[in-house]
Structure 1
Amino acid sequence: MELSYDHYCFGCGEHNPHGLKLKFTYDGTNIKTTFVPGEVHQGYPGIMHGGITSTILDEVMSRCINVLGYIAVTARLEVRFRESIPLHTPVTFEAWIVNRKRNLVDTEARALLSDGKVVAEAQGRFVIIQEQSSPTGHPQQT
Protein backbone atom coordinates (compact mmCIF):
# COMPACT_ATOMS: atom_id res chain seq x y z
CA MET A 1 0.00 0.00 0.00
CA GLU A 2 1.59 3.27 -1.11
CA LEU A 3 0.95 6.19 1.24
CA SER A 4 1.28 9.84 0.41
CA TYR A 5 0.76 12.62 2.91
CA ASP A 6 -2.55 14.48 2.48
CA HIS A 7 -2.22 16.98 5.39
CA TYR A 8 -5.28 15.55 7.26
CA CYS A 9 -3.37 13.77 10.05
CA PHE A 10 -5.14 14.38 13.37
CA GLY A 11 -1.84 15.16 15.06
CA CYS A 12 -0.01 17.32 12.53
CA GLY A 13 -2.27 17.89 9.54
CA GLU A 14 -2.62 21.50 8.49
CA HIS A 15 -5.92 20.79 6.70
CA ASN A 16 -7.68 18.89 9.49
CA PRO A 17 -10.10 21.37 11.10
CA HIS A 18 -10.36 19.21 14.24
CA GLY A 19 -6.67 18.25 14.46
CA LEU A 20 -3.97 19.32 16.89
CA LYS A 21 -1.81 20.95 14.18
CA LEU A 22 1.42 20.02 15.95
CA LYS A 23 4.69 21.50 14.70
CA PHE A 24 7.97 19.74 15.37
CA THR A 25 11.63 20.62 15.75
CA TYR A 26 14.66 18.37 15.57
CA ASP A 27 17.91 19.18 17.39
CA GLY A 28 19.94 16.35 15.86
CA THR A 29 18.94 13.92 18.60
CA ASN A 30 15.39 14.60 19.81
CA ILE A 31 12.13 15.53 18.14
CA LYS A 32 10.12 18.11 20.10
CA THR A 33 6.75 19.80 20.03
CA THR A 34 4.95 22.06 22.47
CA PHE A 35 1.21 21.90 23.02
CA VAL A 36 -1.15 23.99 25.14
CA PRO A 37 -4.32 22.02 25.96
CA GLY A 38 -7.65 23.84 26.09
CA GLU A 39 -11.16 22.87 27.17
CA VAL A 40 -11.71 20.76 24.03
CA HIS A 41 -8.78 18.55 25.17
CA GLN A 42 -10.21 18.02 28.66
CA GLY A 43 -10.83 14.74 30.46
CA TYR A 44 -11.75 15.51 34.04
CA PRO A 45 -12.37 19.22 34.72
CA GLY A 46 -9.18 21.22 34.31
CA ILE A 47 -7.10 18.21 33.23
CA MET A 48 -5.88 17.18 29.77
CA HIS A 49 -7.44 13.93 28.51
CA GLY A 50 -5.05 10.98 28.67
CA GLY A 51 -5.96 9.94 25.14
CA ILE A 52 -4.78 13.28 23.77
CA THR A 53 -1.56 12.95 25.79
CA SER A 54 -1.06 9.46 24.33
CA THR A 55 -1.77 10.73 20.82
CA ILE A 56 0.88 13.44 21.07
CA LEU A 57 3.44 11.01 22.53
CA ASP A 58 2.71 8.62 19.65
CA GLU A 59 2.99 11.44 17.12
CA VAL A 60 6.31 12.79 18.40
CA MET A 61 7.79 9.27 18.46
CA SER A 62 6.65 8.57 14.91
CA ARG A 63 8.44 11.73 13.77
CA CYS A 64 11.71 10.10 14.81
CA ILE A 65 11.22 7.60 11.99
CA ASN A 66 10.31 10.38 9.53
CA VAL A 67 13.69 11.99 10.21
CA LEU A 68 15.29 8.73 9.05
CA GLY A 69 13.38 9.10 5.76
CA TYR A 70 10.71 6.46 6.37
CA ILE A 71 7.00 6.18 7.02
CA ALA A 72 6.11 3.84 9.89
CA VAL A 73 3.05 2.71 11.80
CA THR A 74 2.74 2.13 15.52
CA ALA A 75 3.04 -1.52 16.51
CA ARG A 76 3.11 -0.97 20.26
CA LEU A 77 2.57 2.03 22.54
CA GLU A 78 2.97 2.03 26.31
CA VAL A 79 2.27 5.20 28.28
CA ARG A 80 2.94 5.89 31.93
CA PHE A 81 1.07 8.85 33.37
CA ARG A 82 2.99 10.36 36.28
CA GLU A 83 0.83 13.42 37.02
CA SER A 84 -2.18 15.21 35.60
CA ILE A 85 -1.55 17.83 32.93
CA PRO A 86 -3.42 21.06 33.68
CA LEU A 87 -5.27 22.85 30.90
CA HIS A 88 -3.86 26.10 29.48
CA THR A 89 -0.32 25.08 30.43
CA PRO A 90 2.42 24.57 27.81
CA VAL A 91 3.62 20.97 27.67
CA THR A 92 6.78 19.97 25.80
CA PHE A 93 6.81 16.52 24.25
CA GLU A 94 10.14 15.06 23.17
CA ALA A 95 11.14 11.72 21.67
CA TRP A 96 14.23 9.86 20.53
CA ILE A 97 15.21 6.55 18.95
CA VAL A 98 16.41 3.82 21.29
CA ASN A 99 17.01 0.94 18.88
CA ARG A 100 16.56 -0.04 15.26
CA LYS A 101 16.60 -3.57 13.88
CA ARG A 102 15.65 -4.07 10.22
CA ASN A 103 12.16 -2.56 9.83
CA LEU A 104 11.48 -2.16 13.58
CA VAL A 105 12.31 1.05 15.44
CA ASP A 106 11.99 1.42 19.22
CA THR A 107 11.49 4.91 20.60
CA GLU A 108 10.95 6.65 23.92
CA ALA A 109 9.24 9.93 24.74
CA ARG A 110 8.25 12.13 27.61
CA ALA A 111 5.99 15.07 28.35
CA LEU A 112 7.35 17.89 30.50
CA LEU A 113 5.85 20.95 32.10
CA SER A 114 7.71 24.26 31.84
CA ASP A 115 9.39 23.65 35.22
CA GLY A 116 10.93 20.42 33.85
CA LYS A 117 8.59 18.07 35.71
CA VAL A 118 7.99 14.86 33.75
CA VAL A 119 4.23 14.25 33.65
CA ALA A 120 4.10 11.31 31.21
CA GLU A 121 6.50 8.85 29.60
CA ALA A 122 6.10 6.46 26.68
CA GLN A 123 7.78 3.66 24.85
CA GLY A 124 6.85 2.80 21.29
CA ARG A 125 7.70 0.28 18.63
CA PHE A 126 7.16 1.23 15.02
CA VAL A 127 7.18 -0.83 11.84
CA ILE A 128 8.67 0.86 8.79
CA ILE A 129 6.28 0.41 5.88
CA GLN A 130 7.92 2.50 3.15
CA GLU A 131 10.45 5.13 2.28
CA GLN A 132 9.10 8.66 2.10
CA SER A 133 8.29 9.71 -1.43
CA SER A 134 6.71 13.07 -0.62
CA PRO A 135 7.10 15.66 2.14
CA THR A 136 5.36 14.79 5.38
CA GLY A 137 5.93 17.94 7.32
CA HIS A 138 9.47 17.10 8.43
CA PRO A 139 10.57 18.71 11.66
CA GLN A 140 12.67 21.81 11.31
CA GLN A 141 16.27 21.58 12.41
CA THR A 142 17.04 23.80 15.39
Structure 2
Amino acid sequence: MSIQVPWSVLPDYRCFGCSPHNLHGLRLEFQAHPEGLQARFALDRGFESYPGVVHGGLVGVICDETIGNLIVLERRRPAFTVSMRTRFVTPLLVDRPYRCVARLRADDGDLFHGSADVLDADGVVCATATAVYQPFSLDQVRHQLTLGDDEVALLDQAITATLAPNGA
Protein backbone atom coordinates (compact mmCIF):
# COMPACT_ATOMS: atom_id res chain seq x y z
CA MET A 1 0.00 0.00 0.00
CA SER A 2 1.36 3.40 -1.00
CA ILE A 3 2.04 6.06 1.61
CA GLN A 4 0.83 9.58 0.87
CA VAL A 5 3.59 12.14 1.25
CA PRO A 6 2.54 15.44 2.87
CA TRP A 7 3.25 17.35 -0.37
CA SER A 8 0.28 15.58 -1.96
CA VAL A 9 -2.07 18.05 -0.22
CA LEU A 10 -0.85 20.62 -2.75
CA PRO A 11 -2.89 19.96 -5.89
CA ASP A 12 -0.10 20.99 -8.26
CA TYR A 13 3.17 19.99 -6.59
CA ARG A 14 5.84 19.16 -9.18
CA CYS A 15 8.60 17.31 -7.34
CA PHE A 16 10.81 15.56 -9.92
CA GLY A 17 11.14 12.54 -7.65
CA CYS A 18 7.70 11.89 -6.21
CA SER A 19 4.98 13.97 -7.82
CA PRO A 20 2.42 12.17 -9.97
CA HIS A 21 1.82 15.56 -11.66
CA ASN A 22 5.32 15.84 -13.15
CA LEU A 23 5.12 14.02 -16.48
CA HIS A 24 8.92 14.18 -16.85
CA GLY A 25 9.67 13.01 -13.30
CA LEU A 26 10.26 9.65 -11.67
CA ARG A 27 6.81 9.49 -10.01
CA LEU A 28 8.11 7.43 -7.10
CA GLU A 29 5.59 5.89 -4.75
CA PHE A 30 6.56 4.92 -1.24
CA GLN A 31 5.64 1.97 0.93
CA ALA A 32 6.41 1.14 4.54
CA HIS A 33 9.43 -1.08 5.13
CA PRO A 34 10.49 -2.65 8.45
CA GLU A 35 13.66 -0.52 8.37
CA GLY A 36 11.96 2.70 7.28
CA LEU A 37 10.60 3.47 3.82
CA GLN A 38 10.96 1.97 0.36
CA ALA A 39 10.28 2.90 -3.24
CA ARG A 40 10.00 0.31 -6.02
CA PHE A 41 10.92 1.47 -9.50
CA ALA A 42 12.00 0.53 -13.01
CA LEU A 43 13.36 3.19 -15.34
CA ASP A 44 13.06 3.12 -19.10
CA ARG A 45 15.52 4.27 -21.76
CA GLY A 46 14.45 7.89 -21.24
CA PHE A 47 16.58 7.77 -18.06
CA GLU A 48 19.67 6.05 -19.45
CA SER A 49 23.29 7.12 -19.62
CA TYR A 50 25.28 4.49 -21.49
CA PRO A 51 23.01 2.35 -23.67
CA GLY A 52 20.92 0.17 -21.39
CA VAL A 53 22.30 1.66 -18.16
CA VAL A 54 20.37 4.03 -15.85
CA HIS A 55 22.10 7.40 -15.37
CA GLY A 56 23.90 7.35 -12.02
CA GLY A 57 22.62 10.78 -11.03
CA LEU A 58 19.09 9.39 -11.01
CA VAL A 59 20.14 6.72 -8.54
CA GLY A 60 21.19 9.54 -6.23
CA VAL A 61 17.85 11.30 -6.77
CA ILE A 62 15.95 8.14 -5.85
CA CYS A 63 17.98 7.64 -2.67
CA ASP A 64 17.62 11.32 -1.73
CA GLU A 65 13.85 11.27 -2.31
CA THR A 66 13.36 8.12 -0.26
CA ILE A 67 15.49 9.29 2.66
CA GLY A 68 14.05 12.83 2.53
CA ASN A 69 10.46 11.63 2.58
CA LEU A 70 11.26 9.25 5.43
CA ILE A 71 12.53 12.24 7.41
CA VAL A 72 9.31 14.18 6.82
CA LEU A 73 7.17 11.17 7.72
CA GLU A 74 9.09 10.13 10.85
CA ARG A 75 10.50 13.40 12.15
CA ARG A 76 7.59 15.53 10.89
CA ARG A 77 9.96 18.17 9.56
CA PRO A 78 11.05 18.94 6.02
CA ALA A 79 14.79 19.09 5.49
CA PHE A 80 17.22 20.18 2.78
CA THR A 81 19.99 17.84 1.72
CA VAL A 82 23.34 19.13 3.00
CA SER A 83 25.57 16.37 1.69
CA MET A 84 25.18 12.99 0.08
CA ARG A 85 27.61 10.26 -0.83
CA THR A 86 26.61 7.55 -3.26
CA ARG A 87 28.55 4.35 -3.84
CA PHE A 88 27.80 2.39 -7.01
CA VAL A 89 28.36 -1.33 -6.68
CA THR A 90 26.98 -2.32 -10.07
CA PRO A 91 25.19 -0.37 -12.80
CA LEU A 92 21.40 -0.31 -12.77
CA LEU A 93 19.93 -1.50 -16.04
CA VAL A 94 16.96 0.05 -17.80
CA ASP A 95 13.60 -1.72 -17.65
CA ARG A 96 14.58 -3.82 -14.63
CA PRO A 97 12.83 -3.77 -11.25
CA TYR A 98 14.66 -2.25 -8.28
CA ARG A 99 13.78 -1.00 -4.84
CA CYS A 100 15.31 1.67 -2.67
CA VAL A 101 15.17 1.10 1.08
CA ALA A 102 15.85 4.11 3.33
CA ARG A 103 16.51 4.22 7.05
CA LEU A 104 17.34 6.97 9.51
CA ARG A 105 20.28 7.01 11.85
CA ALA A 106 20.62 8.86 15.13
CA ASP A 107 20.22 12.62 14.83
CA ASP A 108 23.32 14.75 15.31
CA GLY A 109 22.29 17.95 17.04
CA ASP A 110 20.33 19.91 14.47
CA LEU A 111 21.07 17.52 11.59
CA PHE A 112 19.32 14.37 10.40
CA HIS A 113 21.30 11.42 9.02
CA GLY A 114 19.97 8.75 6.70
CA SER A 115 21.07 5.96 4.42
CA ALA A 116 19.60 4.01 1.56
CA ASP A 117 20.32 0.87 -0.42
CA VAL A 118 19.18 0.18 -3.97
CA LEU A 119 18.56 -3.52 -4.46
CA ASP A 120 17.79 -5.55 -7.55
CA ALA A 121 14.99 -8.13 -7.85
CA ASP A 122 17.19 -10.75 -6.15
CA GLY A 123 17.95 -8.46 -3.18
CA VAL A 124 21.53 -7.78 -4.28
CA VAL A 125 22.79 -4.30 -3.35
CA CYS A 126 23.53 -2.25 -6.47
CA ALA A 127 24.13 1.14 -4.82
CA THR A 128 24.24 2.70 -1.38
CA ALA A 129 23.92 6.27 -0.20
CA THR A 130 24.46 8.15 3.03
CA ALA A 131 23.18 11.69 3.48
CA VAL A 132 22.92 14.54 5.95
CA TYR A 133 19.89 16.85 6.07
CA GLN A 134 19.23 20.25 7.65
CA PRO A 135 15.66 20.52 8.93
CA PHE A 136 13.74 23.72 8.39
CA SER A 137 10.36 25.24 9.03
CA LEU A 138 8.39 26.42 6.04
CA ASP A 139 8.30 29.94 7.47
CA GLN A 140 12.12 30.01 7.59
CA VAL A 141 12.44 29.35 3.86
CA ARG A 142 9.43 31.28 2.57
CA HIS A 143 11.71 33.48 0.47
CA GLN A 144 12.98 30.36 -1.37
CA LEU A 145 9.67 28.60 -1.99
CA THR A 146 6.86 29.51 -4.34
CA LEU A 147 4.05 28.82 -1.89
CA GLY A 148 1.22 31.11 -0.88
CA ASP A 149 0.10 31.56 2.71
CA ASP A 150 -2.76 29.08 2.28
CA GLU A 151 -0.42 26.47 0.83
CA VAL A 152 2.10 26.90 3.65
CA ALA A 153 -0.66 26.45 6.23
CA LEU A 154 -2.01 23.38 4.42
CA LEU A 155 1.42 21.82 4.09
CA ASP A 156 2.35 22.59 7.72
CA GLN A 157 -0.85 20.87 8.83
CA ALA A 158 -0.17 17.84 6.62
CA ILE A 159 3.39 17.46 7.91
CA THR A 160 2.27 17.71 11.54
CA ALA A 161 -0.60 15.26 11.08
CA THR A 162 1.22 12.71 8.92
CA LEU A 163 1.73 9.16 10.10
CA ALA A 164 5.16 7.59 10.12
CA PRO A 165 5.60 4.63 7.73
CA ASN A 166 5.19 2.23 10.65
CA GLY A 167 1.84 3.84 11.53
CA ALA A 168 3.04 5.85 14.55
Q: Give the TM-score normalised by the residue count of structure 1.
A: 0.88
Gaps of 5+ in 1: none
Name the aligned partner's letter for residue 43 of structure 1. Answer: S
CA distance in 1, matches of 2:33, 2:119: 17
Q: For 1:111, which of 115, 118, 129 is the aligned residue?
A: 118
Matched, 1:135 2:142: no
TM-score normalized with structure 2 length: 0.75
Q: Which amino acid aligns with 1:133?
A: D
Between 88-97 and 129-138, report the one with greater CA deviation. 129-138
Superposed CA offset, 1:98-137 (max 9, x none): 1213331010101000101100000000010127614379
Equivalences for 1:83-98 in 2 at 5 Å? Answer: 83-98=90-105
Aligned to 1:74: 81
Of structures 1 and 2, the one with the larger relative CO (CA 8 A, separation 6+) is 1
Instruction: Tell me how large the CA RMSD over aligned residues is.
Output: 2.4
Residues in 2 aligned to 1:138 and 1:15: alpha-carbon distance in whole angstroms = 23
**Pair 86,78 (structure 1): closer, same or farther in 2 beyond 3 Å:** same
CA deviation after TM superposition for structure 1 residue 29, in Å: 3.3
CA positional deviation for 1:27: 3.2
Identity of matched residues, %: 26
Write out the 4+ residue segments of structure 1 that deviate beyond 3 Å after TM superposition.
Answer: 3-6, 134-142
Q: CA deviation at 1:63?
A: 1.3
More deviation in 3-12 or 25-34? Answer: 3-12
**d(CA) in 2 for partners of 1:135 and 1:22?**
19
What is the distance in 1 between the residues matched to 2:98 and 2:17?
Answer: 15
Instruction: Describe the shift of the 1:134–1:48 C-alpha distance in structure 2 as closer, same or farther (beyond 3 A).
Output: farther
**Which structure dedicates a bigger proportion of its chain to strand?**
1
Deviation at 1:139, TM superposition (A): 7.5
Partner SS, residue 63 of structure 2: helix
Cross-structure match for 2:51:
45
Give the total of aligned pairs.
140
**In the alignment, is residue 122 of structure 1 matched against residue 129 of structure 2?**
yes
When Rg is computed on C-alpha atoms for both structures, the one with the higher figure is: 2
Task: Indicate the structure with greater helix content.
Answer: 2
Write out per-residue CA displacement over residues 36-58 of structure 1, whole angstroms, 9 at most, x where no aligned residue.
01000101000010011110011
Which secondary structure state, in structure 2, belongs to the residue aligned with residue 56 of structure 1? helix
Residue 156 of structure 2 aligns with an amino acid whose one-letter code is S
Aligned mate of 1:15, from 18, 21, 35: 21
* Contact 2:71/2:77 (8 A) holds in 1: yes
Moved more, 68-77 or 4-13: 4-13
